[in-house]
Each structure stands twice: as structure tokens, then as C-alpha cells.
Amino acid sequence: MITASLRLTGTLDDGAEVYRSYYLIADFGAHGSGTASIVPMSLGAPMPEGDHLKVKYGGEEAALKAAAEAIKALPENHGLTVKAVINPE
């Protein structure tokens, strides 16, 4: 199993400071296909269409990367600074 914390910070167009946090989980092995789960940790954090993301190959690391890219690509998250922490404590 591999986990990651994804934190986005910045200033919105209206001048408001924003902090968003997501927890990503993948538990299917280092190679092959599987699903990553996306858990929003901040109230009102925008989400992709689903809270799970499937990958066909690349293992858990590829699943976490794909989930992070899906979150960063959301229009509400454009322009925010992103920090990822693999296996946060």
C-alpha cells in the first residue's frame, strides 16, 4: 500500500487565500493495474467526477500520480501551488 497527501495553496481571483488537502491511497502492488482512492480532507475541496481512479499499468505510484494530476487539472485548482508528500505520517 502507498499513500500520499496532496496540498494545494494559493490566492483565488477574488483575493481569498485558499488551502486544500487531499489524501490519496493505492493498495494493489508495485506493478500492474488497480485503483487509487481520492479522499478530500478540506471542506468544499473540488473533486474529479469519481473518488476512484483506475490505471491499466504502472502500479501504485502511477495511480497516485494520475490521481494527483486529475486533482491539479480541476478548473477550481488552476494556479494553486501543489505539494505532494508520499507516505505521510
Residue 88 reports pLDDT greater than 80: no
Quick one: pLDDT at residue 87? 83
pLDDT in tens, 1-54: 889 999 999 998 888 899 999 999 998 888 888 889 999 999 999 999 888 888
- pLDDT the model gives residue 89: 67
Q: Cβ-count burial of 4 within 10 angstroms (0-12 exposed, 13-18 middle, 19+ buried)? A: buried
Domain ranges of the chain: 2-86
**Residue 33, C-beta contacts closer than 8 angstroms, at least 6 positions apart:** 54, 55, 56, 57
Sign of CA dihedral 45, 24, 75, 82: positive
